[in-house]
Amino acid sequence: MDRQQTIIRSATCAGVGLHSGERVRLTLHPAKAGDGVRFVRSDVTDRDPVIPAHALNVSTTQLGTNLTNRAGVTVATVEHFLAACAGMGIDNITAELEGPEAPIMDGSAAPFVELIAEAGLEAQDTPRRKLRVLKPVEVRDGDKFARLSPAAGFSMRVAIDFASQAIGRQTLSFDMQPGAFGRDIAFARTFGFAQDVEKLRSLGLARGGSLDNAIVVDGDTILNPGGLQVEDEFVRHKVLDVIGDLYLAGAPIEGAYEGEQPGHALNNRLLRALFSDETAFSWSTGAASS
């Protein structure tokens, strides 16, 4: 039986929010089978502080995926943590935050993978639920698109295309196999452009951004002293973002994803389009399909 998983013990890390610039502590706690991934704002005491990680709770997607519950309590920039949960096979976990935004750490999902590993994984006596794609669903924005199609397992093909010669066009195919996320994707850092920094900060964004937690591109030049970790780190990070965004389905997806220059908004539109068509998906439990 393919069983649900949580963590064995609590574990904590701390860092700054990419956009708020505020110091925030994140503590992970085990959760009961069926609870799913939930964020809890421990600094909020006058309203319901629990924010379920689900696509229908996505409120904004400007430079990150941000969630809001029915009481109006928000949590921002959750995609890297969610990607780590997906990659580590975590179905149920409570992420307690002492602030409005998940810490950016080094700009990748690797610190969250390490934190989950530190907490330990525990199988639960409940079958894992999966979302099986039954027919193709696609959303477009000009030349950009995101698509889910029926397939065994979970596979992806993502392409990005930027004018900067530091990035250019990059394409990556990835299959979610045991250990593959931690080895091939988790380390890839988020990236941005130097010419956008002042504008973003004037809008109250990117206040915590630095060369310590993002790859910064200036024209055709990478400003980070150490350069890239791998030549295609940019598209690997885009795959990381997609994995995090799609984990907002509420369970692992069984299907194939294809994206041409996808972003958080397009990924959320894709999940909403899937859920709006009851003939496009089904829920399954138990052994994985072959």
Name the band, by pLDDT with cuts 50, 70 and 90, for residue 287: low
Contact 172, 232 (CB under 8 A): yes
User: What value does the mean pLDDT of the chain take?
Assistant: 95
Q: Please write the tens of the pLDDT for every residue from 11-34.
A: 999 999 998 889 999 999 999 999
Q: How far apart are CA 250 and CA 51, in angstroms?
A: 13
Q: Name the phi and psi angles at 184, rounded to 5.
A: -110, -20
- Please, what is the Cα angle at 12 between 11 and 17, to 5 degrees? 145
Q: How far apart are CA 90 and CA 128, in angstroms?
A: 10
Cβ neighbours around 8 below 10 Å, total: 11
Q: What is the mean pLDDT of residues 108-125?
A: 98
> Which residues are bridge partners to 103 per DSSP?
17
Catalytic annotation, residues: 264
Q: How far apart are CA 213 and CA 27, in angstroms?
A: 20
Q: Which CATH number fits domain 130-285: 3.30.565.10, 1.10.10.10, 3.50.50.60, 3.30.1700.10?
A: 3.30.1700.10
Q: Spell 139-174 as b/e; 16+ CB within 10 A means b.
A: beeeebbbbbeeeeebbbebbbeeeeebbeebebeb
Domain boundaries, the chain: 3-126, 130-285
Is the pLDDT reported for residue 115 higher than 80? yes
> Which residues are bridge partners to 23 per DSSP?
16
Report pLDDT for 62.
Answer: 85
Report pLDDT for 288.
Answer: 43
Q: How far apart are CA 134 and CA 114, in angstroms?
A: 34
Name the pTM for this structure.
0.95
Contact 208, 19 (CB under 8 A): yes
Q: Name the phi and psi angles at 276, rounded to 5.
A: -80, -10
Does the 3-126 domain belong in CATH 3.40.50.300? no
Report pLDDT for 20.
Answer: 86
Residue holding tokens 């392409």? 159
Q: What is the mean pLDDT of residues 56-68?
A: 95
Q: What is the mean pLDDT of residues 87-116?
A: 97
Q: Please write the tens of the pLDDT for every residue from 226-278.
A: 999 999 999 999 999 999 999 999 999 999 999 999 999 999 999 999 999 99
Q: Please write the tens of the pLDDT for every residue from 150-206.
A: 999 999 999 999 999 999 999 999 999 999 999 999 999 999 999 998 888 887 777
Report pLDDT for 205.
Answer: 72
Q: How far apart are CA 33 and CA 7, in angstroms?
A: 11
Is the pLDDT reported for residue 129 higher than 50? yes
Report pLDDT for 55.
Answer: 98
Report pLDDT for 180.
Answer: 98
Q: How far apart are CA 84 and CA 82, in angstroms?
A: 5
3-state SS track over the chain: CCEEEEECCCEEEEEEECCCCCEEEEEEEECCCCCCEEEEECCCCCCCCEEECCHHHEEECCCCCEEECCCCCEEECCHHHHHHHHHHCCCCEEEEECCCECECCCCCCHHHHHHHHHHCEEEEEEECEEEEECCCEEEEECCEEEEEECCCCEEEEEEEECCCCCCCEEEEEEECCCCHHHHHCCCCCCEEEHHHHHHHHHCCCCCCCCCCCCEEEECCEECCCCCCCCCCHHHHHHHHHHHHHHHHHCCCEEEEEEEECCCHHHHHHHHHHHHCCCCCEEEEECCCCC
Tell me how far the alpha carbon of residue 167 is from its chain's centroid.
21
